[in-house]
A and B are shown apart, each in its own frame.
Chain A
Amino acid sequence: AQSVAQPEDQVNVAEGNPLTVKCTYSVSGNPYLFWYVQYPNRGLQFLLKYITGDNLVKGSYGFEAEFNKSQTSFHLKKPSALVSDSALYFCAVRDTGFQKLVFGTGTRLLVSP
Chain B
Amino acid sequence: DGGITQSPKYLFRKEGQNVTLSCEQNLNHDAMYWYRQDPGQGLRLIYYSQIVNDFQKGDIAEGYSVSREKKESFPLTVTSAQKNPTAFYLCASSTSGRTNTGELFFGEGSRLTVL
* A residues with CB within 8 A of B: 9, 32, 34, 36, 41-46, 49, 51, 90, 94, 98-106
Q: Is the interface of B mostly helix, strand, loop or mixed?
A: strand
Q: CA–CA, A38 to B29, complex, Å?
A: 22
**B97 nearest CB neighbor, chain A only:** A99
Interface size on B, residues (CB 8 A): 30
Stretch at the interface among B13-21, B71-79, B102-110: B102-110
Is there contact, CB below 8 Å, between B103 and A100? no
Selected from B40, B45, B102, B109, the residue in CB contact (under 8 A) with A43 is B109
Interface of B toward A, CB cutoff 8 Å? 4, 6, 31, 33, 35, 40-45, 48, 50, 58, 88, 90, 92, 94, 96, 100-109, 111
Is A42 touching B45 in the complex (CB atoms < 8 A)? no
| Bound-complex Cα distance A9 to B40 (A) | 8
- The answer on a CB contact under 8 Å between A46 and B58 is no
- Listed by A's residue number, 8 A-B pairs whose Cβ atoms lie within 8 Å are A36-B106, A43-B4, A43-B108, A43-B109, A99-B102, A100-B48, A103-B35, A105-B40
The smallest beta-carbon distance between B111 and chain A, in angstroms, is 7
Is the pair B45, A100 in contact by a Cβ cutoff of 8 Å?
yes
Residues of A within 8 A of B44 (CB): 103
Tell me the nearest residue of chain A to B108, going by C-beta: A43
**Please, which residue of chain B has its CB at the minimum distance from the CB of A4?**
B42
In-complex Cβ contact of A103 among B6, B42, B103 (8 A): B42
B10 to chain A, nearest CB (A): 9
Task: Return the chain B residue nearest A45 by Cβ.
Answer: B106
Q: How far is the CB of A60 from chain B (nearest CB, A)?
A: 12
Q: How far is the CB of A53 from chain B (nearest CB, A)?
A: 12
Q: Which residues of B contact A102 (CB under 8 A)?
A: 45
Most chain B Cβ neighbours within 10 Å, of A36, A44, A46: A44
Contact (A99, B31) CB under 8 Å given A46-B103, A105-B41: yes
